[in-house]
Structure 1
Amino acid sequence: MRQKKRLTPVNYIYLLFVLGICIMFLSLICSKGSFLNKMVYDFSYFADFFDHVRRFYLGLDSVYAEGMHACFPPLAYCIYYLISRMLYYNNIDNPQELSYSGSGLLIICLFTALLAIFFIFGFLRLCRLPDKLGKKVLAVLLFASYPFWLAVERGNLSFLVLILLMYAMDLKDSGSGVQREAALVLFAIAAALKLYPAIFGIFYIAEKRYKEAVRLIFYGCLFFFLPFAFFHGMDGFFLFLRNITAVNSGATGVTIVGIVGRIGDRFGLSLATGHAIGKIISYFYFLFVIIASFKNRIYWKKVSFVTSLMIIFVAASGTYCLVYWVIPFVCFINYLHTKTQFTAMDFVYATLFSLSFIAYPLSIAGSSGMLYMSLYTLLGLLIIEQLLEVLKKLCNSMVI
């Protein structure tokens, strides 16, 4: 008799993703496209792409001079400058219409297509599953999931940063010195584009790879500060600080600060008071993550905590930041591949990881509410597990 094949957490993840993505496309087709409004909620016309490209058309003294939303580090504006040169002659007289122009749409389509290709290659490298076809299918399904719709529609560089981090995580522990050095450079470039990926440097410190950590800091400073030479040097740097401080004074509704602000509003607190309490909680969470990075022995859990800082700790993080959750998700899959016996919690985590990408958008929760509920639930379980482990060690030490 043929042995019945058991359902593993990895096969379960495949099943959830296939069902989730099929339901999404069926909803799009059956609703004649109106479901797209539930998925995206507010169409920005690639705002985080063209709003920065157009700054090179406005005759500004500095890209940082026009509004607080010019808050990206200068390396990002080097990329935007090169793109603006591709569009220059076609749009110089009407920069406000960049996102509607034929050449503008062509550029963003090709840019997104290139990112999609590099994402799939990066996923195939980072994911250690032996099933090559299964990995390819899962990579495509991930790219079709809700967070990627949000990231592509926004046109934010978070997609590019995700790809850099994926390749860096793959090369970080390579047996080749050249590849390990390449990982340092990739981490540094990612941090120079978005700042908060610098938190990934904590892995080098936690693993006592101090020489690499020093070189990482050097590369990071180089890629961050050197491009200011093209944007008015120190004057540009101080304008950048002003803008990023102004942006971070606000909060989106999906971060720790934003959620606490919403809860506080329900209990009659002012939004400012709610945000202030949320900042205190977020700082405690940051400290918890740093400690967990040194104490937790399971790699995917450490990566989950560190990555979550880029999604829920930074008060102004948008929903497109959910794409970063791919990194701990792949680490979790790699962990499952090393196991032969599975527990109920493996399936619970597999469910929550999957729902962070494919949870159906309910009107009551907004376009990304169900995704974030899955994310926060998963993190909550990890926090409880970490605290119970600490409590267990304390009890054992007291008995001894």
Structure 2
Amino acid sequence: MSGYLAPLVRDIPPSGIRKFFDLVSASKDIISLGVGEPDFSTPWHIREAAVYSLERGNTKYTPNAGLYELREAISEYLYDSFQVPYEPSDEVLVTVGGSEAIDLALRALVVPGDEILIAEPSYISYSPIVRISGGVPIGIETFAKDDFKLKPEAVKARITPKTKILIVSYPSNPTGGIMSYEDWVPIAKIAEEHDLIVISDEIYAELTFEQNHVSFASLPGMRDRTILVSGFSKAFAMTGWRMGYACGHSDIIKAMLKIHQYTVMCAPAMGQVAALEALRNGMEEKDRMVESYNQRRRLVVHSFREIGVQCHEPQGAFYAFPSISSTGLSSDEFAQRLLHEAKVAVVPGDVFGLGGEGFIRCSYAYSVNQLIEAIDRIGNFVRKL
């Protein structure tokens, strides 16, 4: 049946993360540090809000753009937390996870042949979604020596007359890198000079540890040029709820809404109720989870360095991105052998694009006991090498 498939879709490789996740699912003795998912359950009061909503029979469609109360709460949250104002009526769109928001933004903007710049290593979905939309993904490599910050000279070197969009994601999956206000200023200047739209994936905005998150949209002149994408999966341990949102200029959000209303109609009603409860009453639990991640972050970085594995210190998200180049193995070889010989699953860095080879991604959104045992096994494996 492959002859019936669209060549564009047929030729896209499957997720490099899911390959290792499937292997882990088939074995009980493997410790997985591979999946970027909180080990916490969604706080009870958030689950309870959804349960009560169902019991009251709130199972109908919501407005296509999402419940107005939720859009209003998102707007208030973004202004209070990151000083970015959005009008709930036409500048906020509730989506089925942040991934749908990115897909909608690209489909609303991309004309076949447009070049889309992507700061890499990056979330593995960006390049495939760009290709599906008809665009051409162009990676911009970032480096451990720069704490994986996006450098203006690297952006300039990749711009051509076909460049239309820049995709950035800080705090970064997979590196844990962040950008300060001073880091963003020259990037904003480039975006203005070259008339670029910026898709800023800020799903890990709440997960910063030593300085506060700076939204790209908060920079002078960048609000209308930016599509801010975020959601509830990471900060509120709501991955399975698939609740996200996009904010931006009303013309762009209206275009995204057209696609959204014809494809998914609206995000699930009970999930929207849960998301509203998270914003209204979930900040204390969120802060406790972030503090736990911070403790695990320090443990993981220290432990990798103790076993002789170089690891830059992540400042956000919940990933460590240690270098395994000293072993002489490629990222994929290291991950494959670690899985089979030491029973630890990590993600090879090369699946995240430019700059990922020579690294592995390890999520520390797991229990302390699992992390300690996993790194002990990694240490033994590295010493045998």
TM-score (norm 1): 0.32
Larger Rg: 1
Query: Whose helix fraction is larger, Structure 1's or Structure 2's?
Result: 1
